[in-house]
Structure formats: C-alpha cells, structure tokens
Structure 1
Amino acid sequence: MNHHVVIRPATEQDISELYELMLQYIVDFYKQPVPKERDLKDLIHYLMENPSSGLQFVAEHQGELVGFATLYFTFSTLKVKKQAILNDLFVIPNARGKKIGQKLFQACLEYIRENDFAFMTWETAKDNKIAQSLYNKMGGKLSEWLYYEIS
C-alpha cells in the first residue's frame, strides 16, 4: 500500500463501508457485542445530519476505506468554548504502520483548531501501548484530570 491516502469527512456514500469498519473496531478490536445494524447505521446517519454533534473522518486508499475517526462535540465551561472528544481512531490491520492513524489524528486536530475549539480529549486502554506511542508523538499529554465512568 502506498502512502496516497485521502482523509476526508464521511459522506452518505461511505455508510456501508464505514459500518463494516466500525463493526471491526467494536467487535474484533474491542471485543464488544455486535451492535444492532440499525443502531450503528443510525449513529452514522445522526452525525452526518447533525454536524453540531460530531463528525467522522474516513481514510480512503484506492477507493476503499481503511480507517476512520469519530469526534463528538460538547462544551468546556472553564474555557467557555466547544471541546471535541476523539472517541474513535481505527485503521484496519493490513493498513497499519503506514501513518494512516497519524493522518486521521492530524485531520481531527486541524478541524478543532480551525473551528476554535478549546481542546480535543481522548482516551485509550492502559495496555494499548501502540496508541499511546502515537498520541505522545502527536504532542498529546496525559490530562491532569482523572477519568471516571458509571453505568
């Protein structure tokens, strides 16, 4: 695979391929249960139809999607600006090691900077050393804030 990869916002024409990529990400990579097809496609549609809620970028190589990134938008009261959460960053296994993840990350970063967001946050698994290496290389810093969750 050469390095000619196009990073661009997802469009209606990408939905079936993006759906398949997101399934790989959810089920194969993160070992989560298979979501209902309608629910996942509804999420993709929702982001396309509600750009104030978020945005998905795709990585395209020779007409085929090989990766994606999802930004969700919220607000920072302390900064009195919008903030973005980089919720997903995924590249298919046979396209890894070719700086596609870096290009997707860079597209997200450029988007938030061009649109005057306060910052972009993200999380990764404690044992995902490959992702941590990318984030460190891209200039990311561990937050001073602790991340909690509850279901």
Structure 2
Amino acid sequence: MTAIQIRPAVLEDLVPLRKLMFSYIVDFYKSKKPESDKVEELIQHLLDHHTDGKQFVAETEDGTLAGFATLYYSFSTTRVKKIAILNDLFVDSSFRGAGLGEELFQYVLAYTKKEGFAYMSWQTAADNKPAQALYSKMGGKNINHEWIHYEIEHN
C-alpha cells in the first residue's frame, strides 16, 4: 500500500470528501442519497465551527482521499468534560485490508486524548462484523448492556 497521511480535513478536500461520504452513505450503508449541497454544507459547517466537531482524512501520496473519520462533540455532565462521538469511520473499498481503518481509529483516539475529552464513543450496525472486529481489537467495549439507545427520526 502507498504511504498514507492522516490529517484534519481542509477546504480543498470538499469535493473528494463529498464523494467518499456518498460512498459511505449510499454504497456502504445503503441509505438514500442526500442532496450534494447538503453534504457540502455539513463538511463546510465542521470546517467553520470547530466546537461542533471535526473531520479527518486519510490521503495517499498522490493526493487521493482513501478514507475519513468524523467526530462530533458533546458533553458529559457526570464527568464534567467534553466527549467525542466517532460518528463515521470509512475506508474506500480499494484501500481496505491494509490496516487503514486501524490507523484512522488510532489517530482520532489520540486526538481526543490529547484534546482532553473524557472519552470517545461510537456505534456501528449490528451486522457490520468487520467494524466490530476492528473496534474490539482497538480495545473498545460494547457497553450496550448499560444503556438503551433511543431515537425519533424526523423525515
């Protein structure tokens, strides 16, 4: 595999990052394709509002984006500290199998530790066995037995 640099996303990443996000949303999770401008607005929002979250990209030597990770920020009242939610971790199919997902995960985990977050949490689909294997390997623990996750969807 070619050398990869993991770094925070910048404005110049907008178009290739949007393409990766479409692949993640539509191809990987089989969700409805969002409007292109809405995806760009999300990327731009995170670039402009660093207190809301941050995106990171994995870039090859030739400038190709091979993957991305998205952190959103919140707070823990019981810990009285910021927390980070790893909402997305995605590697393009042509770059899978070489440890890039692990590198991206380690990078964002180190970032959250360095920045003083109380913890980083995440979820994955029940049928996403490769992701579950990665997260277990990284030391993640399924704490679903402690809390029940609810949501109300607004269509």
Q: Determine if the TM-score, normalized by the shorter chain, exceeds 0.5.
A: yes
**Do residues 141 (structure 1) and 141 (structure 2) align?**
yes
TM-score using structure 1 length: 0.97
Aligned-residue RMSD, C-alpha: 0.8
Normalised to the residue count of structure 2, the TM-score between the two structures is: 0.94
1:67 is matched with which residue? 67
1:128 and 1:36 map into 2 onto residues whose CA distance is 25
Q: Which moved more, 1:110-119 or 1:137-146?
A: 137-146
Map of 1:70-85 to 2, 5 A cutoff? Answer: 70-85=70-85
User: Once the two structures are aligned, what percentage of the paired residues are identical?
Assistant: 53
CA displacement 1:25-71 (0-9 Å, x = unmatched): 00110111111111110000000000000000000112100000000
Q: What is the aligned partner in structure 1 of residue 100 from structure 2?
A: 100
* Alignment length (residue pairs): 150
| Structure 1 residue 148, shift from structure 2 partner | 1.7
Deviation at 1:149, TM superposition (A): 1.6
What amino acid sits opposite 2:31 in the alignment? Q
Secondary structure at 2:117 match in 1: coil
3-state DSSP of counterpart to 1:14: helix
Report the secondary structure of 2:75's partner residue. Answer: strand
CA distance in 2, matches of 1:147, 1:103: 28
Mark the runs of 5 or more structure 1 residues left unpaired by the alignment.
none
Q: Report which stretch shifted further, 136-145 or 37-46.
A: 136-145
Opposite residue 33 of structure 1, the aligned amino acid is K
Matched, 1:55 2:43: no
The secondary structure found in structure 2 opposite 1:8 is: strand
Report 1:104-143 matches (<5 A).
Answer: 104-143=104-143
Structure 2 unaligned spans of 5+: none
- CA apart distance, 1:146: 2.3
Could you tell me how far 1:150 is from its partner in structure 2?
Answer: 1.7
Distance in 2 between the 1:99 and 1:145 partners? 31
Residue in 2 that maps onto 1:24: 23
CA distance in 1, matches of 2:80, 2:119: 11
